[in-house]
Amino acid sequence: MSLTGMVCLITGGSGGLGAAIGDLFAREGAIIHLADLSDAPGRAVAERIGAGFHRLDVTDESAWMRAMDAIDAEHGRLDVLVNCAGASGIIGDGGLLDTSRWHTLFAINATGPFFGMKHAWPLLRRSSAPSVVNVTSISAAVAVTPAHPAYGASKAALSSLSRIMAVEMAQDGIRVNSVAPGILPVMSGLADDAAERATAHRESVVRTTVPLERVGDHLEVAAAVRFLASPDSSYVTGTELRVDGGFTAR
């Protein structure tokens, strides 16, 4: 599953799953460009793995255009786009009816990847093995976080968008797939009370609903992204690979 010499743009690369994908792709010999709104952490990861870095707010269409212009000037093509940047569905004080983050979650989790595919399309068209991998969630299919409907709904929108774009972009030989992670470790950077609530929620769900009886690892999800990004999955498009320890198999 070598990615040697392939030009790859990974959003959300400043930490967590995005950084894990960057690490793995770098070991595969890919030419990495990381993008994130968090400037200092993103640049630190980029320096560590020998990647380029773009400060990118995925909800800003003009920022996407600038990033693509920079990659075009440097490489003249893009082989892989990984839309990993996302906003979490941490339960708000308002519970089920808390819609304070509705527009924010949809802007980051659905509109952002749409902008990415839209503006990466011309560069992907120039690749001999182009692919897009969107990071969705099992929350798109099942109510893992029922107290924050905006998260599941926005990820479901991205899941549907991935299938639609797979059909549309196939005319140019561009494959579009998605990876739906299950329960992963709580991301760093959350406030203590939010992290505590999220950790307790994960532990409760794992005990009762995950057949493998453990939280997943970022590298396990990154390996699935690597497969869908690589030429080894050359006849796979429009599919969603769930990496969830069997959660959705019940």
Rounded mean pLDDT of the chain? 90
| CB-facing half-sphere around the CA of 186: CA atoms within 13 A | 17
Residue 12: strand, helix, or coil:
coil
Residue pLDDT, tens place only, 111-155? 999 999 999 999 999 999 999 999 999 988 888 765 678 888 999
CA distances, 150 to each of 106, 109, 173, 213 (Å): 7, 10, 33, 27
Residue pLDDT, tens place only, 149-168? 888 899 999 999 999 999 99
Q: Report the percentage of the chain scoring pLDDT > 70.
A: 88
Give the residue numbers marked as catalytic: 151
Answer whether residue 29 shows pLDDT above 80: yes
Q: Read off the pLDDT band of 193 (50, 70, 90).
A: low
User: Which residue's structure tokens are 């926005």?
Assistant: 154
What value does the mean pLDDT take over residues 26-36?
A: 97
- Ordered by where they begin, the domains of the chain are 7-245 (3.40.50.720)
